[in-house]
Structure formats: structure tokens, C-alpha cells
């Protein structure tokens, strides 16, 4: 199902993820908290440099859940090896952002390569 928000995700990914690797980590508590999953999964199949990594952190994650499990910061820690020339764009709660920044710093991301929007 395509939502009205889908073009806001699809078009920038098509425009910017063609020559440069791009990973979209999406963390939620339960499957009902995720959105645009079908759209992002389709983009991952369409664009060779785009990876979509959904993760669920709730206690009742379905046994057949195909994505990652755990807090999104734990998932990022498992997947991201080193900064290199990568940039990180984050949005979420203050606690999640602060934890993610600490993890990214441990992987040699500089403050100038980390951009975020804290939700309150």
C-alpha cells in the first residue's frame, strides 16, 4: 500500500542513493508502529545501494518477524562498522538520539557527520 508520505521517501532516495550506499534503520516497538515498510522494502529491491533495516524492540515480537530485534541503537551498533565518509541522519526521542550519538562516536563518526532532530 502506498501512502501519501511515500513520495517524500521514495524520490529523495532515488535521487541521492544511486551512487552512494544508504541504510535506513527504522526502529519501533511493534509491527503496528512501523509505516512505509512495503515502500521502503520495495526501494531496497529497486536501488542496489539502498538497504532498509526495520527493527522491533517490544516483548511480543511475532515469531515470524523477518527484521531485526532489539533497540534500534543496538541494531545500528551491530550493522555499522566504522564511519569512513558516512553521515548519519537521526530522528527520535532525546534518549534514543543521545544513545545513537554515543554509538556513532564509538565508530569514529565526528559531530560534523551526525545530524539529528530530537522529538519531545
How far is residue 58's CA from residue 95's CA, in Å, rounded to a whole number? 17
Model's pTM, two decimal places? Answer: 0.84
Q: Which fold has domain 1-79?
A: Rossmann fold (3.40.50)
How far is residue 84's CA from residue 14's CA, in Å, rounded to a whole number? 22
Domain ranges of the chain: 1-79, 86-120
pLDDT digits (tens, 9 = 90+) for 34-92: 988 998 898 889 888 889 999 999 999 999 999 999 999 999 999 999 999 999 999 99
Which residues 6+ apart lie within 8 Å of 54 measured at CB? Answer: 26, 27, 28, 34, 37, 40, 67, 68
Amino acid at each position: 500500500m502506498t501512502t501519501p508520505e511515500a513520495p517524500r521517501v521514495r524520490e529523495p532516495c532515488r535521487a541521492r542513493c544511486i551512487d552512494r550506499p544508504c541504510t535506513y534503520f527504522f526502529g519501533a516497538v511493534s509491527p503496528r508502529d512501523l509505516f512505509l515498510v512495503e515502500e521502503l522494502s520495495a526501494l531496497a529491491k529497486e536501488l542496489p545501494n539502498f538497504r532498509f533495516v526495520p527493527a522491533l524492540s517490544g516483548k511480543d515480537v511475532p515469531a515470524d518477524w523477518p527484521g531485526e530485534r532489539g533497540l534500534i541503537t543496538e541494531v545500528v551498533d551491530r550493522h555499522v562498522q566504522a564511519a569512513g565518509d558516512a553521515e548519519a541522519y537521526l530522528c527520535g526521542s532525546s534518549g534514543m538520539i543521545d544513545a545513537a550519538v554515543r554509538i556513532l562516536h564509538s565508530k569514529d563518526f565526528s559531530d560534523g557527520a551526525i545530524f539529528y532532530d530530537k522529538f519531545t
